[in-house]
Structure 1
Amino acid sequence: MRFDTKAVHAGVTPDPSTGAIMTPIFQTSTYVQQSPGNHKGFEYSRTQNPTRFALQDSIAALENARYGLVFGSGLAAIDAVIKLLKPGDEVISANDLYGGTYRIFTKVFENFGIKFHFIGMEDVANIENYVNDNTKLIWLETPTNPMMNIVDIKGAAAIAKKHNIILGVDNTFASPALQNPMDLGADIVMHSVTKYLGGHSDVVMGALAMNSDVLYQRLAFIQNSCGAVAGPQDCFLVLRGIKTLHLRMQRHCENGEKVARYLAEHPKVNKVYWPGFESHPNHAIAKEQMRGFGGMISFTFHEDDMQQSFRVMERFKVFALAESLGGVESMANHPATMTHGAIPREERMKVGLLDSLIRLSVGIEDADDLIADLEQAIG
């Protein structure tokens, strides 16, 4: 089944009791049992819920995986992955990643004796320099947040398999419409479902997809035991959002390219970070492992002046100045003070995350209106 068809149908079957074409919202905390232990597969909604199960099946299908699990947020999904580890284990992570991921790694799990190495992964061969007997997980984003760096998933997977290490890939920026890390050798694919999968800025949720029976059993146990599950109402909203994922991503990509090329020609703009440019580092890898370059763009001005960026963002009329991304509406974000504020400035500077950098999530509005908004805001 091709992706566009899966987006509409995967995980969703008519309700057997009514024939309803959409999965009902099973807004219940518990299920009546005919006798102790006779529960027809459903006992308690932290453990099992039909609406959540339908969404998990849908996300698994979109990622060409056997199993899916959804959580109360993207960070809750990452939290579950790190709980696969034990004190003394080590993680190799990209040094350009979402600030919340950096925060949970360094401020929470380092306190439990897990060691993290944050390294450049533009050349995945660099990973080998940090592998040792304690390395249990490689964690990467591609494209990265917010520098839009591209990491060779297939190359990272080869290293992970060589050393019997789990490879986890945050696929939030690409979405399964543009990239399927499982097909390239990843063991776990993570999504902040809040973003493109939900697509309408009305849900907070995370998801994991995997093929391994062992990983699924361990992560499902963590999901149930730790309790960071997604509620049925939110699951219903995401099931609805996924039905238009392929259409939305097509428009995000089209608008993203127009905005990126406009910014690249603007005399006040210094650098534009978008993997669709042939000059972008690892553009060839992006072209190979992605089916489009997405609607996420970052850019800087000629002088690293935070106040200039503030003035521009305060003048936006169509772009909303807000945290998050991936909604139908366009958003602007200042990573240094917003999404990546937890990362020390010296660490941000090492990867080029300047004080003036603005991150755009290009929505599905008319591209000419978005460009006109940029024109009046930048001046």
Structure 2
Amino acid sequence: MTLDQLHLLFFKNYEEASLTFSSGINCFVGDNGSGKTNLLDAIHYLALTKSAFASADAQAVKQGADFFVVKGKFTPAPLAKPETIQVSLRAGQKKIITHDKQPYLRLADHIGRYPAVLISPYDTDLIREGSEERRRYFDSLQSQLDHEFLELLIQYNGLLRQRNFTLKQGDGSRGFDALYLQTLDDQLAPLGEQLSQLRAEFLTQFIPVFQRHYAQLADGHEAVVLDYKSQLPGQNFRHLLLANERRDRALQRSTTGPHRDDFVFLMDGLPVKSYGSQGQQKSFAIALKLAQFELLAGRPQPVGEPPAKPLLLLDDIFDRLDDKRIARLLQLVANHTFGQVFLTDTNLARTDQALAGVGSDIRRFRVQAGSVTTL
């Protein structure tokens, strides 16, 4: 799979830009703040319908404009017909995603069709931040791999929102619908148990791949583990909801369930967050992303179609990673482990030197204050 063309209109600091890409490596070179990372984020929008960096889509609209458009032309497989994906948002309206000009009825139908993996300086947030960051990461990955999981997650989150809204209605004496809460719990319980089970099953597949990549990055000096923390295994979720109902009503939110799960990152039995060095945390985060790439690249394809490697987005790695970790990534690039690559850097000479032995078709772009030219 390749992204052949990208067109932006009023996206972040771009008024308009059109780019045609190499099927190999594409380098965006420019000063900090020029808009290099925004190009990667535009590609992320095409792949996953949302920003990799901002929580609100409205933040992607260029200042002074009232809408944005990101359009890309993909070739899903060799000799296949190109497909055009467009993401657009107008102020005060719903975001629209189209495939060959036909809008998706549900955004979920798009997830997983054009996979992408981003390696950025913010990846260590997965280690340092709270459980919500880790749940979001693993849910996004698993959703691209397994549509059953995605459908369950959508249903569960919808019911959870209704449950939390119900808990906020009144103080127990007025406006509170206890019967409706029981009905929601009856529907929520089996979905939550299935989600927890699918997460646990997924990790049995993910962990060995992750551990192998970490060993290659860190020369196998530390033993790393992902520990899935959930309240549900061995428990009846419906009973847990009932047991916690009084507390939930007092706090006006649901305090138990898979939306409270966490993924604990350990190194030699100790939390990486507290005991891992900065370098170890970076290796841990990169190993997570390399395992993500491998699983996405190896997912089953329709009969007769070759494996579809995800797009690889590398943000600012030459500035933020040491030579050893950069060398490992470039070795994988040179070995054609990855397919199409997009990377950002501030120094063209450094980029050229790093990629000198890669042997792929390389296209370079100069980014300056929201404008892009081919070098």
- Greater fraction strand: 2
Structure showing greater relative contact order (alpha-carbon pairs closer than 8 Å, 6 or more residues apart): 2
TM-score, reference length from structure 2: 0.25
Greater fraction helix: 2
